[in-house]
Homo-oligomer: A and B are copies of this chain.
């Protein structure tokens, strides 16, 4: 790569465009406008076909999946020549997408914001958003995304992450769960999860969301490694509260912790609408401090609350009082 000092003065632009799941109706207005504005379109063949109506008369560079760095370098070359380039990704260009490799290539080449090449990232719905929308409401509580691809990430890093989030009861979206060559990663992921989660934990496998070959399978953690999973699948593993009912996978938000849904939604005893739970931070700190005064050691409290002992020691020192009353709207 050449030094950035030779960059052309005319304004080039690199737009990283997330087109969502891959059906035209789920693209944003800005994604369409960015593609329309571009002189050059670079992307994986499948995605370029989806915007065929927008690209007439433009230079189109079709690339296969293994050439991510090449795509970024090509985009930079065109932008240096004053062109506007749209790098088209499915999903969100920032989620396991081209945004990262592109910035890595730009920095390597000495790019700065005032060098004459503008960079814009156009956000879109990532696979986890699209797949969740199709299966119900699995992501209404804390969740994470983990790629099972070990082509760029050492396995112990991936395994450590799987173990940590299985333990801490996250809903998990597995990206790149399996390929022709990588068949054992999903088996290992299952084993790591089964150490912490019930065998009947709901799992949804979504292939080609919002596309012609869309296919959704509901299964359970103990069965998921046998399911039909491929390169175009996303695997959603529920948390300990997630259930499947009427063909919908739902993770409850926690209203049942505060409201009695059978009684027309009145608050449970000791709870107040718009306020932290009695087991929220301040209530919990007060309880913790009371347990400690009653003789429980930090080690005992750590085991009881399943939290590290040194955090318990810190928490015992924290102020356990609410701040002065604040008038506030806007929380559940």
Residues of A within 8 A of B (CB): 1, 18, 20-21, 24-30, 33, 64-66, 68-70, 92-97, 99-104, 107-108, 111-113, 121-126, 129-130, 132-134, 136-147, 149-161, 163-165, 167-170, 176, 179-185, 187-188, 191-192, 195, 231, 245-248, 250-255, 257-259, 261-262, 264-265, 273-277, 279-285, 305-308, 310-311, 314-315, 318-319, 322-323, 326-332
A167 vs B139: C-alpha distance when bound (angstroms): 22
A107 vs B187: C-alpha distance when bound (angstroms): 33
A23 to chain B, nearest CB (A): 8
Give 10 nearest A-B pairs by CB, closest first: A100-B140, A144-B144, A150-B280, A152-B254, A180-B326, A164-B168, A99-B137, A154-B279, A121-B133, A123-B133
- A257-B28 in contact given A123-B133, A195-B311, A265-B69 (Cβ < 8 Å): no
* Cross-chain contact B179 with A168 (CB below 8 angstroms): no
A108 to chain B, nearest CB (A): 6
* Cross-chain contact A129 with B123 (CB below 8 angstroms): yes
A195 vs B20: C-alpha distance when bound (angstroms): 37
**Chain B: CB-nearest residue to A210:** B123
A202 vs B175: C-alpha distance when bound (angstroms): 25
Q: Which residues of chain B are near A248, meaning CB under 8 Å?
A: 103
Q: Which residues of chain B are near A277, meaning CB under 8 Å?
A: 150-154
A308 to chain B, nearest CB (A): 6
* Cross-chain contact B107 with A246 (CB below 8 angstroms): yes
A74 vs B313: C-alpha distance when bound (angstroms): 47
* Cross-chain contact B30 with A29 (CB below 8 angstroms): no
- A331-B107 in contact given A124-B129, A125-B28, A133-B94 (Cβ < 8 Å): no
* Cross-chain contact A257 with B153 (CB below 8 angstroms): yes
A46 to chain B, nearest CB (A): 10
**Chain B: CB-nearest residue to A245:** B107
* Cross-chain contact B28 with A27 (CB below 8 angstroms): yes
Q: Which residues of chain B are near A179, meaning CB under 8 Å?
A: 328, 330-331
* Cross-chain contact B96 with A152 (CB below 8 angstroms): no
Q: Which residues of chain B are near A147, meaning CB under 8 Å?
A: 141-142
* Cross-chain contact B160 with A306 (CB below 8 angstroms): yes
**Chain B: CB-nearest residue to A321:** B184
Which of B122, B257, B262 has a CB less than 8 Å from the CB of A133? B122
* Cross-chain contact A195 with B65 (CB below 8 angstroms): no
A20 vs B30: C-alpha distance when bound (angstroms): 11
